[in-house]
Amino acid sequence: MKNKPPYRVLVIDDSAFIRQFLTRIINQTQDLKVIATAADPLKAMEILKKTEVDVITLDIEMPNMDGLQFLKQLMHFRPLPVVMISSWTQEDSEMAVQALALGAVDIIAKPTLGLRIGMEKLKDEIITKIKTATQARVGRFPSSPKVASPPLSVSDNKGLKVTTDKVIAIGASTGGTVAITEICQQLRPNVPGILIIQHLPAMFTTSFAASLNNTTRIQVKEAEDGEQITSGLALVVPGDKNLTIRKSGAKYLVKLGPKLDVSIYNPSINHTLHSVAEVAGVNAMGVILTGMGNDGADGLKAMRDNGAYTIAQDEKTSVIYGMPLRAWENKGAAKQVPLPKIAEEIHHWAGI
């Protein structure tokens, strides 16, 4: 059972300006209150020993202990929702993906230039993600990546370049990177082509795709415009793009477009699912995973109406049971499935 508001926030950052800024905007927000701040993780550990906390904001680079090491210990000994707020760059974006794998609920990139003005522009995003984190279930994250099936030889392992006659579209938001990783680690290398629409900033989707590719038996990469969807291949939609599909003979090809002005979600799950519904029809499967909001619900309903098989993650295994609930309530999902069983459901539908 979740505590009632105001939700207590612990701010951990070695920058006095960031601590003061976060304290100000959080305390100005109804239902949130900064209960304490810490300049490094060791001080935060002392605070956690004597203070009840509902959610944590956490930097990466700090004295005495880095944020990832602290996050790993926190999730092992006292799991709490964590929003990472750090100065990520394209070069170190893999650390952000690692933070999500360790159990962080979400990530926010501090501006690298013009910190004061940049942080003000991020105010709404920061508050929204902290509020979402207060509703998150944490504590069921794997301590290290593992592949469920025995490894294959390298030649058999990645991307069986076979035209797929079926398409699987998987949409997720908060908590989705861990859920998608768990599913992909169980998938067989002859699975039909997959589209992954995960709400992530553009600088992180390349690293997320690389992380999946390194821990699964299928090939995973960021989608490129005009690329063919093939068996054993999962394409991650870039964070600053939107993806639709088209058919060319027996082939399914992807088309990348810019962000949508009409959608608050980018990449938009609905946008891709509506395209899959129209182009692939009965030859498609749609999956909606954990996340806040309703992105994907309408698109999944369109897929189901056009004959696709559609499922949503169940409440018990969702970090945030928002998007799956909306997909279930509007009859977009034909079935709710626990996360550990979703890969099996995909295999059964694909007949493999």
- Own/partner long-range contacts of 24-30 (Cβ < 8 Å, ≥24 apart): 25/123, 25/126, 25/127, 26/127, 26/130, 29/127, 29/131, 30/5, 30/6
Q: From the candidates 13, 59, 295, 314, which is the catalytic residue?
A: 295
Q: Distance between CA 323 and CA 289 in Å, rounded?
A: 7
Q: From the candidates 93, 173, 268, 275, which is the catalytic residue?
A: 173
Instruction: Please provide the size of the chain in residues.
Output: 352
- Cα diameter, the chain: 65
Contact assessment for residue 75 and residue 102, using Cβ atoms and an 8 Å cutoff: yes
Catalytic residue flag (residue 295)? yes
Catalytic residue flag (residue 173)? yes
Closest by Cα among 339, 343, 312, 337 to 149: 343
Q: Provide the 8-state DSSP code for 321.
A: B
Q: Distance between CA 57 and CA 12 in Å, rounded?
A: 6
Q: Distance between CA 140 and CA 344 in Å, rounded?
A: 20
In 3-state terms the chain splits into helix, strand, coil percentages (rounded to 5) of 40, 20, 40
Q: From the candidates 40, 199, 274, 298, which is the catalytic residue?
A: 199
Catalytic residue flag (residue 143)? no
Active site residues: 173, 199, 295
